[in-house]
Chain A
């Protein structure tokens, strides 16, 4: 009867959409060639550990979100500093997604429209969604997720049914030994699996806490398997070389579908599905950043929607072109992400444990 808090189904739906998000857009672990699935598997397992840690942090103090945790356990000044780092990180991730979305739209749908206008429209739509708050966004994810699942299902079965999959592309396994695989793993942890740190902001918003842990973990597992499948499908369809070099490998694979002369350019419809995934991720990061702004300064949520919107919109133009954007994404920021995704939460967890033990011993004495 109480609709004030979000409930588990919609949270799970948005968690799944977030995880899928923009991941299917790119070839993950491309440098490992045909062993990309191994890279992803190892990274997904590492991501699972991270997620367990996030859930553990949440369980230590289930009422506070990420920023309140920072303010409480780091102290006021340091908490504000680290909270700002998180908010800035989320905003930056959002801006990267915004750029991805804009590039994708201009690549597939609107070749002649200036990318600035495309991004502006996306930013307006997204800011409007953020204005409604996390609860409404979660609910709308619940409405969208059946369409997404059906679309991917139809797509995968079409690719398989048309006979595009060549299993020989998997071979030879671990051509150059384990090293290239392991070398790629840290990057794949940072994107996409490490991004779950964002959900520390959202965990306290959920009403039904009982089986949340299990549901989140199961969803994570299923989406990880799904992502590995789709990622490897690119390799199987395009071959490891092409999958590595093409900008949007999945779209490339989809374009190969030709069925009874009717279903030919499926990529155009499918790109809408990608938009929804990208958009969800973008909205959630944006909300995470806005929530940070409001928590850290103690001002209302809605006040921060427009400032962060402008910042995200502006940051999406940092790179002069898409190649630079991708290079920054893979070779520059990805190396710094682990500090935020892993380092800070670990310190936070240790501080929380110390505080808890101290209080525990205080009570005991």
Chain B
């Protein structure tokens, strides 16, 4: 990723960090602002053009000039600001120029911008600029508003039991959702602005004293190294900062659940929230984290443990089942019990394609249906399910195009891939599946093994921000394993995960019956 950046034209690279709002902004913007509002108004008009949403209002013979972009501000706060300014006019001259200005404004926080660039940045992020006649610089009053979605139930990661709040596109809402869950002074937010054109606010959240400082520093370092003109979604950030670009497996987790983020922060992970998207990133993560749902911690521990193993099993099924079927029917039919062999063979009698092609055909068909399901307008949904279920399933079997067993295998594989709680991981499985099917179709079980072993090597060699991807299993760590294949009851999870948190800190006092066994 860094290599691509180096090839960028130099004029864009120069203007990366927070400074440059608009490329080609005149030199005048970098000069300090003068005392005359009229000059500054000219500067604003030159820089922003004559868009209909840019407003410049004058009060009391140019004593105050207010400028804002009305699509970005809250009209109520604006009228409050106007009220503040009017009462200030009544009070007299000395109020405007002194520091009491900031105290007299109740509409929003006040900052002083000394250069045109700072002022424009403020305006573009939803502040009103107040220019006072005879006073240097501009006052930037934050009254940001504009349309935003209310907090709703997350659509991609649903739970039966647990909070129903999901992140929204507005970062301040998201930060408040986190603050509400973690009322500790140690919850820290580090702010960055990335993207020459988008000026996207990116916030790194962590709990001081639990998160490893080296990881926080590394995250900030990698964020600072990003040199791009736009960040529209957390996926951009994810690809820029991940450890290895060429891997099918995600090494950064994304979630739209504030409770998941809060839990991860408490485990010592670092979260990255990006303005404009409900998906927050969590790092460092291990492979097994992708099989956990936040619900695991809200439900009873026994059923949670069972479900976790079901998910890992589904992962294997989604990856291996079609290739195992192809390998066994093509190369090793003797493995099947005789009665089953006869029924499978009888079904395959009528089908024209070899198992590999049949499987590939059905898998690709399924992927097409699935993609159609995501992209199509909601109203045509029933049509797809009829075509998918009846035409491509039932009818294809009856027409002798594919065998019924293959339909069962493909359907079960598909369902199994939906069990994986994180979409990124199930996407990885979908891709790997095709490769393994091809190997199975050419070399049978031997082919599958020769595909799985390199995959394992790759998984074990991956790292996420210095933490081995396969952590509690390889390298082995017994205290972390407590929260992987099983979930211990809460009174027994006394420690935070090793290696991820700063020290193996105690999470809670040991329970009454635990007192003796813990050192």
Contact = CB atoms under 8 A, between A and B. Distances in A.
Contacts of A3: 463, 466, 468, 475
B454 A125 contact: yes
Contacts of B445: 109, 268, 272
A122 interface: yes
A143 B460 contact: yes
Contacts of B463: 3
A120 to B, nearest CB: 10
Contacts of B240: none
A272 B475 contact: no
A101 to B, nearest CB: 10
B450 A121 contact: yes
Interface string A144-181: 10000000000000000000000000000000000000
Interface stretch (B107-115, B175-183, B327-335, B399-407): B327-335
A331 B476 CA distance: 42
Contacts of A125: 450, 453-454
A142 B456 CA distance: 11
Given A109-B332, A265-B334, A129 B453 contact: yes
Contact of A109 (B338, B446, B454, B466): B446
A209 interface: no
B302 to A, nearest CB: 22
A110 B439 CA distance: 13
Contacts of A10: 474-476
Nearest to B448: A272
A254 B466 CA distance: 44
A118 interface: yes
Contacts of A121: 443, 446-447, 450
Contacts of B449: 272, 275
Interface string A127-140: 01100100011011
Given A1-B499, A109-B444, A9 B476 contact: yes
Interface string B448-486: 011001101100110100101010011110000000000
Contacts of A124: 450
A279 B453 contact: yes
Given A9-B475, A142-B476, A136 B453 contact: no
B10 interface: no
Question: A-side binding surface: helix, strand, loop or mixed?
Answer: helix
A10 B475 CA distance: 7
A268 to B, nearest CB: 5
A120 B454 CA distance: 15
B338 A132 contact: no
Interface residues of A, number: 33
Nearest to B498: A1
A262 B338 CA distance: 8
Given A122-B450, A279-B453, A110 B461 contact: no
B217 to A, nearest CB: 15
Nearest to B461: A136
A362 interface: no
Contacts of A140: 453, 456-457, 460, 474
Nearest to B454: A128
A7 interface: yes
Nearest to A104: B446
Contacts of A269: 335
B446 A105 contact: yes
Contacts of A110: 331, 443-444, 446
Contacts of B512: none
Nearest to B439: A121
B337 interface: yes
Nearest to A106: B446
Contacts of B337: 261-262, 264
B384 to A, nearest CB: 38
A321 interface: no
A144 B473 CA distance: 10
B461 A143 contact: no
Contacts of B454: 125, 128-129
Interface string B314-351: 00000000000000000110110111000000000000
Contacts of A268: 332, 334-335, 445
A306 B311 CA distance: 39
Contacts of A137: 457
Nearest to A264: B337
A123 to B, nearest CB: 10
A138 to B, nearest CB: 8
A137 to B, nearest CB: 8
A113 interface: yes
B500 to A, nearest CB: 10
A139 B338 CA distance: 40
13 contacts: A1-B499, A7-B475, A7-B476, A9-B475, A10-B475, A110-B331, A128-B454, A129-B453, A132-B461, A136-B457, A139-B470, A143-B456, A268-B334
Given A109-B332, A139-B461, A143-B473, 12 more contacts: A1-B499, A7-B476, A9-B476, A10-B476, A110-B443, A124-B450, A132-B457, A139-B475, A261-B338, A261-B339, A268-B445, A269-B335
